[in-house]
């Protein structure tokens, strides 16, 4: 079974990444340590938020998928070299499912995973008319371009918690499959925990019970979201965004653990956040997806505010090539101008 897993990497010591901070303003990282893994962008210079990334069968072309825009429910683009990207190629999920509200049918944060040689599962967020909140759906396809065919019902809902969003897949060493997601508590003035739960071999049937990995602390600006879980050299890295997505405080940070289900420790300055506004020319960087390609190297994609101020002008796609993880620390490098 092939299930391309998420991953990231950098230089440093795990002893420097202990304990959650209680300071109230967001932590700011400003080139405090030498970086590895090159950030470039925008590589898709149009509205392409919350990008999901996959390299089918470990061979080009790469595929990326975005939240709904004027280009479709789940627009996608491709690249042969992870340098140049095509214009948007089409809509991978033109019909998000019978359970999705007809009056509010946008799709958020799609994540595609490969299970088997010619079998793909897409996880996505949409508004459920029956539940009255955002739920997580799953759709399948025999090709990464789709069209993906949705399941008849969502696979995760949580009305009491405020809904659920930002689902992503993960394969642990040994082949166990998981789904990771955020409870959208900020929609009700509540906390925003991130959960994990086992998936069956089909890639979309949840089994067992959910486990909380992290939740928001004061330093997170009231929110943690957009989880992306990866394994690399004895560490599990849970990447996430914190603070509000439509502000320049939005960022990419991470927590680490020795087990897929935790306990996780949020990494602190100077080793985190991984990206904040101003780093490498970004503005409100977030919504990252990171993949480990056959244990050979790690690449990532994320979005940044086009207008340099907030999300109102759209968010274009940026990338990180050859990201490195080492001893529980992740770092990036800005290209020289």
What whole-number distance in Å separates Cα of residue 50 and Cα of residue 167?
Answer: 11
- Is 56:113 a contact under the CB 8 Å cutoff? no
Task: Say which of 50, 158, 171, 220 is annotated catalytic.
Answer: 50
- Is 91:74 a contact under the CB 8 Å cutoff? yes
Diameter of the chain measured on Cα atoms = 52
Any idea which residue has 């993949």 for tokens? 291
What whole-number distance in Å separates Cα of residue 59 and Cα of residue 68?
Answer: 26
- Our answer to whether residue 84 is catalytic in this structure is no
Q: What is the DSSP secondary-structure string of 199-224?
A: E-TTSS-EEEEEEEEE---GGGTT-E
- Our answer to whether residue 31 is catalytic in this structure is no
- Is 232:299 a contact under the CB 8 Å cutoff? no
Task: Say which of 111, 171, 225, 316 is annotated catalytic.
Answer: 225
What whole-number distance in Å separates Cα of residue 135 and Cα of residue 157?
Answer: 5
Polymer length in residues for the chain: 337
Query: Any idea which residues carry the catalytic annotation?
Result: 50, 225
């Amino acid at each position: 079974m092939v299930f391309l897993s998420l991953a990231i990497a950098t230089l440093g010591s795990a002893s420097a990444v202990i304990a959650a901070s209680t300071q109230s303003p967001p932590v700011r990282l400003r080139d405090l340590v030498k970086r590895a893994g090159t950030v470039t962008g925008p590589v898709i210079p149009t509205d392409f938020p919350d990008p999901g990334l996959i390299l089918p069968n470990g061979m080009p072309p790469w595929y990326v998928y975005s939240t709904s825009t004027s280009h479709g429910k789940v627009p996608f683009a491709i690249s042969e070299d992870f340098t140049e990207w095509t214009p948007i190629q089409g809509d991978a999920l033109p019909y998000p499912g019978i359970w999705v509200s007809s009056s509010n049918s946008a799709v958020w944060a799609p994540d595609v995973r490969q299970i088997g040689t010619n079998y793909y599962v897409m996880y996505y967020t949409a508004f459920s008319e029956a539940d009255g909140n955002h739920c997580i759906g799953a759709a399948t396809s025999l090709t990464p371009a789709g069209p993906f065919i949705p399941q008849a019902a969502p696979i995760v809902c949580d009305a009491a918690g405020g809904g659920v969003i930002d689902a992503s897949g993960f394969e642990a060493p040994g082949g166990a499959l998981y789904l990771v997601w955020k409870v959208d508590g900020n929609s009700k003035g509540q906390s925003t925990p991130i959960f994990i739960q086992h998936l069956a071999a089909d890639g979309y049937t949840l089994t067992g019970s959910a486990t909380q990995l992290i939740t928001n602390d004061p330093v997170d600006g009231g929110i943690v979201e957009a989880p992306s879980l990866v394994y690399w050299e004895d560490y599990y890295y849970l990447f996430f965004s914190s603070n509000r997505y439509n502000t320049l405080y939005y960022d990419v940070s991470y927590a680490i653990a020795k087990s897929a289900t935790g306990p996780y420790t949020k990494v602190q300055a100077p080793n985190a956040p991984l990206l904040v506004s101003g780093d490498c020319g970004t503005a409100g960087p977030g919504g990252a997806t990171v993949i480990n390609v056959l244990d050979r190297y790690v690449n990532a994609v994320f979005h940044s505010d086009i207008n340099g101020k907030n999300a109102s002008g759209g968010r274009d796609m940026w990338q990180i090539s050859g990201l490195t993880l080492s001893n529980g620390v992740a770092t990036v490098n800005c290209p020289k101008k």
